[in-house]
Structure 1
Amino acid sequence: MKAIQFTNKTAQKIYADYISRIKRTTATLNKTDREEILMELNSHIYEGMMHKTPSSEIESLVDVTEQLGAPEEILKPLIAQKKLEQATRSFNPKHIFKALVLNISSSVVYVFFALLYLTLFGFVFAIIEKIKNPEYVGLFFKNGNFHLLGTRNPANSEELGLTEVLGNWFIPVMILCIIVLYMVITLLLRLKRKK
């Protein structure tokens, strides 16, 4: 990006501050996205300055930047969208978490996706508990019907007539469920983003 040069030092300082705020606001994005946004806003400033009536550079620049708005506010939805694109391309949990946090304020649907991802941590917790207490964690059936997936109360489990059906297969099945659910949720998130 080529920086705009002003003859007035104060105008140059205002411009540099605005560009610095854009850079700070877009810092979580990848380099390509950051540069794209910076060039776009710089272009808006340049065009705005060209269409202003000859007055002081400071007044014109302040007017243009006020019309654009504060970078922290105007870029929030764009950054959330870019983070979501990055997350659904990479399947990286860190990017997905950041995208959800950024998007959670914009839609209730993203709250639902956040809850689905939190469900995955429940499966991880069940695996850890199965390692610690193998006889009290699993997929339990009672009289041939599903009763419980998770941890049973050791005090009254014998009188309930619960039978754990997966045994040593519980951990591999939970890992498979985590992988499949993670992929499905992320693909659904990708489809939601495309709408």
Structure 2
Amino acid sequence: MIPPFTDTGARRRWGDYFSEVGDLPSRAGADAAELPDDLQAHVADSMAASPGGSELERLDAALSRLGRPIDYLRPLLADELIERGTRSYSPVTIARGISYAVMAGSRRAAIALIFGIGYLSLAIFTGMAVLKPLWGEHVGVFRNADGTISAGIVARSDGARELLGWWSILIALLLATLLYVILTKGLRALRHRR
């Protein structure tokens, strides 16, 4: 709902602002088709309620009260993507939601970083399970000659002895599955707590 502007500066300012609003949900892959319409209605109502001034002044006042689209849309998009990802258990959607949460602010960034590290660990366990049959001498849990233990995808030293053998595939898959369910349910619980 674009107001019938007579001021070309106000029309241009409106177009610039809402092109930025329209870009963010589409870049995130979010289902936010109604968002620009809702925001346009809100800004138009805010302009109509403003006393006096030119169209451009009333539009600038309404937009400054609303703020920059990137500042208020990133948290909304992060929440939407994380919620959608935790419902579908889609790692790609969760990763996009976490990336938007990181860009949204410090508290969100800290939470997203914790979950990001968890999902990275999950990827490492999955990688171990996949790579064990292909590169077995470097994947697993090893006791080195000096008594230290190395686990994961490692550069195996001389005299290292593998401790788990092929069991490392099953253990890595179980840990990856368990970690994925815990992290996804944790994200869902965190989302519903707000």
Greater CA drift, 122-131 or 90-99 = 122-131
1:40-79 superposed Cα distances (whole Å, 9 cap, x missing partner): 3212211111112233212211221122111122322222
SS of corresponding position for 2:53? coil
Q: How does 1:123-134 map to 2 (within 5 A)?
A: 123-134=125-136
For 1:59 and 1:50, the matched residues in 2 are separated by 12
Q: Displacement of 1:140 after TM fit?
A: 5.5
- Look up the match of 2:46: 48
Give 2:63's aligned residue.
65
Label 1:149 to 1:46 Cα distance change in 2 as closer, same or farther (>3 A).
Answer: same
Gaps of 5+ in 1: none
Name 2:174's counterpart in structure 1: 176
Aligned to 1:88: 86
Query: TM-score normalized by structure 2?
Result: 0.80
Measure how far apart 1:116 and its partner are: 0.6
Residue 30 of structure 2 is matched in structure 1 by: 30
Structure-2 change in CA distance of 1:30 and 1:86 (3 Å): same
Cα gap change, 1:135 to 1:69, in 2 (>3 Å): closer
CA, structure 1 residues 177+130, in 2 after alignment: closer, same or farther (shift >3 Å)?
Answer: same
Q: 1:187 Cα deviation (Å)? A: 0.7
2:158 paired residue number: 155
After TM superposition, list the pairs within 5 Å mapping 1:181-192 onto structure 2: 181-192=179-190
Flag the structure with larger Rg.
Answer: 1
CA distance in 1, matches of 2:81, 2:33: 11
The offset of 1:8, in angstroms, is 2.6
Does the 8 Å contact 1:130/1:137 carry over to 2?
yes
Partner Cα separation in structure 2 for residue 19 and residue 136 of structure 1: 53
CA-to-partner distance for each residue in 1:143-191, whole Å, 9 max, x for gaps? xxxx55434734022xxxx5533x3343244223322221221111111
* Residue number in structure 2 paired with 1:138: 140
TM-score by length of 1: 0.79
For residues 62 and 153 of structure 1, what CA distance do their matches in structure 2 show?
Answer: 64
Shift in CA distance, 112/7, structure 1 to aligned 2, threshold 3 Å: same
> In structure 2, what is the Cα distance between the partners aligned to 1:121 and 1:134?
18
1:119 to 1:48, Cα distance in 2 relative to 1, 3 A: same
Gaps (5+ residues) in structure 2?
none
SS at match of 2:78: helix
Distance in 2, matches of 1:14 and 1:118, equals 42
Q: Which residue of 2 aligns with 1:194?
A: 192
Equivalent residues, number: 183
Match of 2:112 in 1: 110
Pairwise CA RMSD: 2.5
